[in-house]
Amino acid sequence: MNSIDISIVVPLYNEEAVFDTLIQRLSNVINQTDFMCEVILVNDGSIDKTNQLILEICKADNRFTGVLLSRNHGHQLAVSAGLASVRGKKGAMIIDGDLQDPPELVEEFYKLLIQGFDVIYAIRKNRKESFLKKLAYLAYYRLQKKISSFNIPIDSGDFSMLSRRVVDNINNMPEQSRYLRGMRAWVGFKQIGFEYDRDERQAGNTKYSWSKLFELAFNGFFNFSDFPVKIITRLGFFTVFFSLIYFGYNIYRRVYYNDVPQGFTATILAIILFSGVQLISLGLIGEYVLRIYNQVRNRPLFVIDKIIQDGKEIGE
């Protein structure tokens, strides 16, 4: 394909149930746009028929490119693999394969891109999810904004359009524990939010379990904030302050009442307090050590099995 303007990156993991609807809607979108689009379908080690379906559509329609990973690497790395394969001269759009992010917004995002914005990030006005998840997201994004070293927009996910220079900068970032919405905010340039109502998943089940959501949240905290390190110092000052208060209380009891609190309860309280602070501190330090360990191994972010581009298989 020549003169590709925008590459639409779609990570997929076991999306057989929604695949046909996804392709139909994407095809309708790229048929109607005034600019040239390609769609990059990234198979993140699916164990259903997603891999075969990607092969079929990419060989039948040159506007679709398939990036087949060697195994499941996770959503953020699957998106990174797609961004590494972008050919769009003007940039790329990232959407989820479950159609909660409407691909029809590509034209609205593109209008803002050609106006000079480098990042157009979608802001979720309404979520079709459980009350507990909504509450967790609400708390997380606001805590993240408060402790981050720079501004990461509230209620914005990976659904976005990025200019070519933002895509290139993100591709040049070698960090292993990736948090793409933080990375695109860190890059800077001219950014704008676009509010939309997030749809329900069209079919299948969510691929982000609670454990994966916590892992993503930790990457957001530890990669883009120095607060976890500073909290160790604050905990240290707190325990010293608490100890001094308790010491002063003992002196007061000794002087005015001629007794000192003794026994099992006071001892256990002190042990639990100081042990808890030490374990929390070790855990926070361990999170950074783990990230350093993963980084210095210098392994590739992902391994590609094959790429199907312009109807042909390209072995990796």
pLDDT at residue 264 is higher than 60: no
**Alpha helix (H) ranges present in the chain?**
16-32, 50-60, 75-84, 106-114, 131-147, 164-171, 180-187, 210-223, 227-257, 264-296
Specify the 3-state DSSP secondary structure of 207. Answer: coil
pLDDT at residue 207 is higher than 60: no
pTM: 0.72
Region 188-196 average pLDDT: 85
pLDDT at residue 21 is higher than 70: yes
75, exposed or middle or buried, with CB in 10 Å at 0-12, 13-18, 19+?
buried
For the chain, the average pLDDT equals: 79
Of residues 289 and 190, more confidence is placed in 190
**pLDDT classification of 215: cutoffs 50, 70, 90:** low
What is the reported pLDDT for 205? 60
- 304-309 vs 191-197, strand pairing mode: unpaired
Specify the 3-state DSSP secondary structure of 77. Answer: helix
Q: Are 8 and 37 in contact (CB under 8 A)?
A: yes
What is the reported pLDDT for 216? 67
- The sign one gets for the Cα dihedral 14, 9, 57, 54 is negative
pLDDT at residue 34 is higher than 90: no
What is the reported pLDDT for 266? 62
Reported as a single tens digit per residue, the pLDDT across 99-138 is 888 888 888 899 999 998 998 888 877 666 666 766 766 6
What is the reported pLDDT for 64? 92
- Distance between CA atoms of 254 and 278, rounded to whole angstroms? 30
Q: Which amino acid is located at 304 in the chain?
A: I
Q: Cα–Cα distances in Å, from 53 out to 15, 30, 185?
A: 10, 19, 34
